[in-house]
Structure 1
Amino acid sequence: MTEKHSTQFEGGTDGPKVIVVGVDGSDTSLRAAAYASGMARRQHALLAVVYVQPVLAAGAALGAPVAVTTDEIAEDLVRQVREASEQVRGVFDFRWEFHTFRGDPYNGMVRAADDLKADAVVVGASEQAGHRFVGSVAVRLVKAGRWPVTVVP
């Protein structure tokens, strides 16, 4: 009996289908979004832009309009992503969608990556000095070991 092997390659089926990127308006998160959009374009993947709206119990207790502020941040982030994608339309086309969750950033990113069935997660490195000792969202995502995680400086 002779075995036959196909010499045809599967085109476009390797690599990530969904890339999740966390954004919060910081410089590193916007660099992560740019990096992830390049990955999504090259891999023909969906770019899922995720903003986790922090729940600030102390601010809410003091009467600060936390939800309004975080909603405004989310709207601004959507605007920035939309403008950036419009600037490169026709040259660098990629599919993207925006998602927002409320909660702490780590659990929100885990939920987003799980719900969206992420093949890869991209986040910016923390800009807060204390995270070197306590652990940033990026470090916690890497330690979770559930998806390939790229941390953009």
Structure 2
Amino acid sequence: MTEHQSHAFERGTDGPKVIVVGIDGSDSSLRAAAYAAGLARRQRALLAMVYVQPVMAAGAALGAPVASTTDEVAESLIQEIREAAERVRHIYDHLRWEFHTFRGDPYNGLVEAAESLTADAVVVGASEQAGHRFVGSVAVRLVKAGRWPVTVVP
């Protein structure tokens, strides 16, 4: 008989209780949010939608209003989410969701979000940037980190 190994994401329940989904307004991130919402609804889990505001040091050094621009993106995303939630309210009646913003690069921001929100699973959209085939996308880096089950939505 082998000894049962517990994993960091296991909380003594069947299925996830907190699902983090990264959103940035791209089509793939919005598909990931829709997929994660379905998972959260079926599992009766909390859906934590996370927008990572990029820190653009070069723009800030030149005096560009970077923080206000990324705040506007976050506000636009939350408004879009609220409108979409209202349209499908009858389907997602009992869905619990929250919107969070973190600052930094997308990978580290999602790691920080998943840790601080005690995520059981992370959902992200597939990268839409061609260069990521060679360098590695946020999704690939999250999978390689091996801290949470990661679902990549095309």
TM-score by length of 1: 0.89
Once residues 55 and 22 of structure 2 are traced to their aligned partners in structure 1, the CA distance between those partners, rounded to angstroms, is 16
Return the index of the structure with the highest Cα Rg.
Answer: 1
1:98 is matched with which residue?
Answer: 99
One-letter amino acid matched to 2:132: H
Once residues 131 and 91 of structure 1 are traced to their aligned partners in structure 2, the CA distance between those partners, rounded to angstroms, is 35
1:7 is matched with which residue?
Answer: none
2:141 is matched with which residue?
Answer: 140
Gaps (5+ residues) in structure 1? 1-12
1:110 is matched with which residue?
Answer: 111
Once residues 127 and 114 of structure 1 are traced to their aligned partners in structure 2, the CA distance between those partners, rounded to angstroms, is 25
1:130 CA drift (Å): 0.8
Once residues 137 and 91 of structure 2 are traced to their aligned partners in structure 1, the CA distance between those partners, rounded to angstroms, is 35
Query: What is the percent sequence identity of the aligned residues?
Result: 82
One-letter amino acid matched to 1:128: Q
1:6 is matched with which residue?
Answer: none
2:49 is matched with which residue?
Answer: 49
Gaps (5+ residues) in structure 2? 1-12
The runs of at least 4 aligned residues of structure 1 exceeding 3 Å deviation read: none
1:81 CA drift (Å): 1.1
Residues 15-57 of structure 1: CA deviation (Å, up to 9, x unaligned): 1100000001111101100110011111110000000000001
1:39 is matched with which residue?
Answer: 39
1:60 CA drift (Å): 1.2
1:3 is matched with which residue?
Answer: none
Count matched residues. Answer: 141
SS class of match (2:29): helix
One-letter amino acid matched to 1:71: D
One-letter amino acid matched to 1:127: E
1:90 CA drift (Å): 2.9
2:28 is matched with which residue?
Answer: 28
TM-score by length of 2: 0.89
Confirm whether residue 151 of structure 1 aligns to residue 132 of structure 2.
no
One-letter amino acid matched to 2:140: V
CA-atom RMSD in angstroms: 0.9
1:63 CA drift (Å): 1.9
Once residues 132 and 147 of structure 1 are traced to their aligned partners in structure 2, the CA distance between those partners, rounded to angstroms, is 22
1:92 CA drift (Å): 2.0
Residues 102-134 of structure 1: CA deviation (Å, up to 9, x unaligned): 111101100100111111100001111111111
